[in-house]
C-alpha cells in the first residue's frame, strides 16, 4: 500500500470522528490528516472549517486528498430539527462529498452510516441477530434513519463510478449500532437522573427488547482498518456495508449503565420499570405543554414516542463480516472500554460538582 497518504475526515471533531483522527495520526502510512467540520476540536491537526452543505467548500477541502472518511452528520433521534435540515446535511452533504471525490480524483471514500439506516421500521418488526445480507423491509421509524439510508444508498451506488482521470471510485460503508464511550451525553444524563432518584436507574426498555452497544473507540478503529484495506483489496470491500461490533457484553441498557456507574459510585442500583403506557402519557403531556409554550419558550424533548417505540423493539446484528473481509478485531477490550468510559464519567461529574459549588 502507498505511504505518505493524506486523509480527510469530515466531522473529525465529532463523537466518532475525533477517535478516527486519533487513530490515523498514529499510523505510519498517513502523512497528514485533515479535519473538515463546523467546529474546531481538541485534536491539533490540519483543520478546515467548513459547511458540508456548501459544495465549493467541500471541493476545496478534498484537494490533494487520497482517502475521505465521511463521518459528518446531523445526529437527531429526538426530531429536534426539521426534516429538510436533516436531509440537507445528511443527504445533500453526502452528495457533495461524492461529487467532490469524483471531480478531484479522490479514489477512496468511507462513509459512516448507522444501524438506524436499516431500521426498526414503523411496524416495529424485530431484527434478531441478522447479518449484512439480511433483507429488512418497511418504512423507517426515524427521520434520522431515513436520511442515513438515503445517504448510504448514494455512497454504495457511487462505488465503481468513473472519476475525472478515468479511474474508478471505491466506496465502503460502516454501520455503527448504539455507541457509548467518552462524551456520551445520554449516559451523563442517565447518571444525573439516577442521582436525583435516590441512586436508582429507572428504565423504559422491557425484557422483551434487546439492542447492542459498541465502544466508540472500536467503531473508529473499524473505520481506519476498513479504509486501509479498501486500498489493498478494493474488489472485496468496494460497495460493501459492515455492521460494527466488539466485545461489549450483550446487556440490557440498564445493566450496562449499572456496570459503568458502580465502578465509581457503588450506591447506584437498578430501579423499577416504567410501563410503556405511563411513558406514553408523560411524553404526550410534555408535548402538549411544549406546544403551548412554543411562542415564548422552546422546550427540548426529553423523550419521543418514536424513541419509546425504538427502545421497545429488539433490533441488533450478529456478524463477523468485518473480520472475514479485512481482519477486524476490537482494538479495546471490554475491560478497557469500560475503564475509559468510567474515567470520563467520573471526571466529568466531579468537574460539574466543582463548577456548581463555585458558582
SS3 231: helix
Roughly what angle, to the nearest 10 degrees, separates helices 216-232 and 15-24? 50
User: Any residues with CB less than 8 A from the CB of 118 and at least 6 apart, and which?
Assistant: 127, 136, 145, 149, 175
* 219 close to 178: Cβ distance less than 8 angstroms: no
Distance separating alpha carbons of residues 146 and 151, to the nearest angstrom: 9
156 closest CA partner among 167, 145, 171: 171
* 195 close to 269: Cβ distance less than 8 angstroms: no
Q: Report the C-alpha dihedral over residues 76, 79, 83, 85, rounded to 10 degrees.
A: -50
Distance separating alpha carbons of residues 174 and 12, to the nearest angstrom: 16
Given 7, 144, 191, 243, which residue is catalytic? 144
254 closest CA partner among 301, 207, 215: 207
SS3 112: strand
Catalytic status, residue 180 = no
Distance separating alpha carbons of residues 157 and 87, to the nearest angstrom: 18
Among all residues, which ones are annotated catalytic?
Answer: 144
Amino acid at each position: 500500500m502507498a505511504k505518505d497518504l493524506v486523509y480527510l475526515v469530515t466531522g473529525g471533531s465529532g463523537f466518532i470522528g475525533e477517535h478516527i483522527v486519533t487513530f490515523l495520526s498514529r499510523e505510519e502510512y498517513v502523512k497528514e490528516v485533515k479535519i473538515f467540520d463546523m467546529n474546531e476540536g481538541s485534536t491539533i491537526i490540519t483543520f478546515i472549517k467548513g459547511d458540508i452543505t456548501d459544495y465549493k467548500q467541500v471541493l476545496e477541502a478534498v484537494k490533494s486528498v487520497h482517502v475521505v472518511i465521511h463521518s459528518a452528520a446531523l445526529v437527531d433521534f429526538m426530531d429536534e430539527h426539521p426534516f429538510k435540515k436533516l436531509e440537507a446535511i445528511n443527504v445533500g452533504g453526502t452528495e457533495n462529498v461524492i461529487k467532490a471525490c469524483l471531480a478531484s480524483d479522490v479514489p477512496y471514500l468511507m462513509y459512516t452510516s448507522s444501524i438506524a439506516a436499516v431500521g426498526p421500521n414503523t411496524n416495529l418488526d424485530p431484527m434478531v441477530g441478522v447479518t449484512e445480507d439480511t433483507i429488512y423491509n418497511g418504512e423507517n421509524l426515524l427521520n434520522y434513519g431515513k436520511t442515513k439510508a438515503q445517504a448510504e444508498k448514494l455512497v454504495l451506488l457511487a462505488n465503481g463510478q468513473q472519476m475525472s482521470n478515468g479511474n474508478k471510485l471505491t466506496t465502503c460503508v460502516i454501520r455503527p449500532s448504539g455507541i457509548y464511550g467518552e462524551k456520551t451525553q445520554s449516559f451523563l444524563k442517565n447518571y444525573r437522573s439516577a442521582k436525583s432518584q435516590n441512586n436508582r436507574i429507572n428504565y423504559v426498555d422491557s425484557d422483551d427488547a434487546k439492542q447492542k452497544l459498541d465502544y466508540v473507540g472500536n467503531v473508529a478503529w473499524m473505520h481506519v482498518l476498513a479504509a486501509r484495506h479498501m486500498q489493498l483489496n478494493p474488489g472485496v470491500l468496494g460497495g460493501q456495508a459492515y455492521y460494527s461490533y466488539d466485545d461489549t457484553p450483550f446487556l440490557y441498557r440498564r445493566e450496562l449503565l449499572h456496570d459503568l456507574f458502580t465502578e465509581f459510585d457503588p450506591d447506584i442500583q437498578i430501579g423499577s420499570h416504567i410501563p410503556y403506557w405511563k411513558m406514553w402519557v408523560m411524553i404526550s403531556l410534555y408535548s402538549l405543554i411544549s406546544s403551548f409554550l412554543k411562542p415564548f419558550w422552546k422546550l427540548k424533548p426529553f423523550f419521543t414516542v418514536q424513541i419509546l417505540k425504538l427502545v421497545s423493539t429488539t433490533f441488533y446484528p450478529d456478524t463477523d463480516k468485518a473480520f472475514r473481509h479485512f481482519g477486524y478485531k476490537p482494538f479495546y477490550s471490554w475491560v478497557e472500554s469500560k475503564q475509559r468510559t468510567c474515567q470520563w464519567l467520573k471526571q466529568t461529574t466531579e468537574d460539574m460538582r466543582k463548577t456548581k459549588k463555585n458558582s
